[in-house]
């Protein structure tokens, strides 16, 4: 599978910005991916060396509109830790 299909989008929140100080980056990934695939995809797309990958599965919330009830989709997020001297320039700005 194409690495750009595995990583859906970067997560840019206040928490993700604080994690960047520790050289960690957050990504939304496909629900059927695993750590090894995420590691290979990040290394290939951004040309960096990955030290560690943690994956969390996020359950979708139940939402209501009047008497009708629905559910948001489940999704996965990956916390990617890079090696000491590597950075992803996309997040650094400038």
Range of the domain at 50: 3-86
**Would residue 92 count as lying in a domain?**
no
**Would residue 72 count as lying in a domain?**
yes
Residue 63 to residues 6, 31, 56, 73, 94, Cα–Cα distance (Å): 27, 21, 21, 11, 39
Give residue 93's pLDDT. Answer: 61
Give residue 94's pLDDT. Answer: 45
Cβ atoms of 3 and 44 within 8 Å: the answer is yes
Mean pLDDT by 10 residues, the chain (94 residues): 92 93 95 96 95 97 96 96 90 62
Q: What is the CATH number of the domain that holds 51?
A: 3.30.70.330
Domain count, the chain: 1
**Would residue 19 count as lying in a domain?**
yes
For residue 42, what are its two tokens?
């990040």
């Amino acid at each position: 599978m194409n690495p750009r299909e595995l990583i859906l989008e970067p997560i840019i929140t206040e928490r993700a910005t604080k994690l960047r100080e520790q050289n960690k980056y957050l990504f939304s990934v496909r629900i059927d991916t695993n750590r090894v695939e995420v590691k290979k995809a990040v290394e290939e797309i951004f040309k960096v060396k990955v030290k560690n990958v943690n994956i969390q599965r996020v359950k979708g919330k139940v939402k209501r509109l009047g008497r009708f009830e629905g559910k948001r989709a489940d999704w996965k997020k990956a916390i990617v830790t890079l090696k000491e001297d590597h950075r992803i320039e996309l997040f650094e700005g400038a």
